[in-house]
Amino acid sequence: QKEVEQDPGPLSVPEGAIVSLNCTYSNSAFQYFMWYRQYSRKGPELLMYTYSSGNKEDGRFTAQVDKSSKYISLFIRDSQPSDSATYLCAMSPTNTNAGKSTFGDGTTLTVKP
Amino acid sequence: DAGITQSPRHKVTETGTPVTLRCHQTENHRYMYWYRQDPGHGLRLIHYSYGVKDTDKGEVSDGYSVSRSKTEDFLLTLESATSSQTSVYFCAIRGQGGPEAFFGQGTRLTVV
């Protein structure tokens, strides 16, 4: 059983749709929750991160963490073709160890014009 | 790309040969990491460094060694390459601030 499980996808949606990407985890020590976006043949880049439970919004992106359910989500509003990428969730128990985060396998999203 | 350069970007090598991948950063960050990315396994940590000459193992370190003689360079060596080490390798760095890691462009390694 992996520590972090991510909805495998792939996911294909029409432009303008609301997208929900999800991960579950088993390690209750995780405190930092990150979402990375990875375009084809590129390195991952951080989209946003949250500390502990709650929501965080950044433009069209909203990250939610429910520690009681060990469940995190990334919502993308008004999805655009440029959002087509693989999205990776990542988790760490501390800030200083965040470079050693545990990653999900990724969900590949395609937004069709 | 946060000042990270990986070299080479692509390499094909034969089973049993040693291979060294290089990660160079211009950010003067203390922490550096080597990951491999494979379908169905996501990103897995191979080795990491928290300073010059200070390194430690990650979850998939068997068959790999690292060295860091300067802040800016972190080398990953496959001592005797095997086909199971065919993968995309990413270097990452992290500063003293938030938890985010900045990744390089990756090295696509094929062992035949």
Q: Where are the domains of chain A?
A: 4-112
What torsion do the CA atoms of A78, A83, A88, A94 make, to the nearest 10 degrees?
-70
A100 has a pLDDT exceeding 90: no
pLDDT at A54: 86
pLDDT at A23: 97
What's the whole-number mean pLDDT along residues B2-29? 94
Question: Cβ–Cβ of A88/B101 closer than 8 Å?
Answer: no
B97 has a pLDDT exceeding 90: no
B80 has a pLDDT exceeding 90: yes
Q: What is the DSSP string of A70-90?
A: TEEEEEESS--GGG-EEEEEE
pLDDT at B91: 96
How far apart are the C-alpha atoms of B9 and B47, rounded to whole Å?
19
Categorize the per-residue pLDDT at B18 as very low, low, confident or very high, splitting at 50, 70 and 90.
very high
For chains A and B, CB pairs below 8 A equal 59
Q: B38 CA to chain A: closest CA distance, Å?
A: 9
Q: Please give the domain boundaries of chain B with CATH numbers for all domains.
A: 4-111 (2.60.40.10)
What's the whole-number mean pLDDT along residues A63-86? 96
Interface mutation vs chain B, best among A105, A107, A108, most B CBs within 10 Å: A105
Question: Cβ–Cβ of B100/A98 closer than 8 Å?
Answer: yes
A98 or B63, higher pLDDT: B63
A4-112: CATH superfamily: Immunoglobulins (2.60.40.10)
B95 has a pLDDT exceeding 60: yes
Question: Cβ–Cβ of A99/B92 closer than 8 Å?
Answer: yes
Interface mutation vs chain A, best among B21, B41, B43, B105, most A CBs within 10 Å: B43
B2 has a pLDDT exceeding 70: no
Q: Tell me what the pLDDT averaged over chain B comes to.
A: 93
Question: Cβ–Cβ of B100/A34 closer than 8 Å?
Answer: yes
pLDDT at A97: 65
What's the whole-number mean pLDDT along residues A44-63? 92
Is the peptide bond preceding residue B99 cis, with omega within 30 degrees of 0?
no
CB-closest option in B33, B99, B103 to A34: B99
Q: Does B45 touch chain A (CB under 8 A)?
A: yes
Q: Does B62 touch chain A (CB under 8 A)?
A: no
List Cα–Cα distances, A99 to A48, B47, B95, B110, in angstroms: 15, 11, 9, 26
A41: which chain B residues are within 8 Å (Cβ-Cβ)?
106
Q: Which residue of A has its CA nearest to B31?
A: A99
Q: Tell me what the pLDDT averaged over chain A comes to.
A: 92
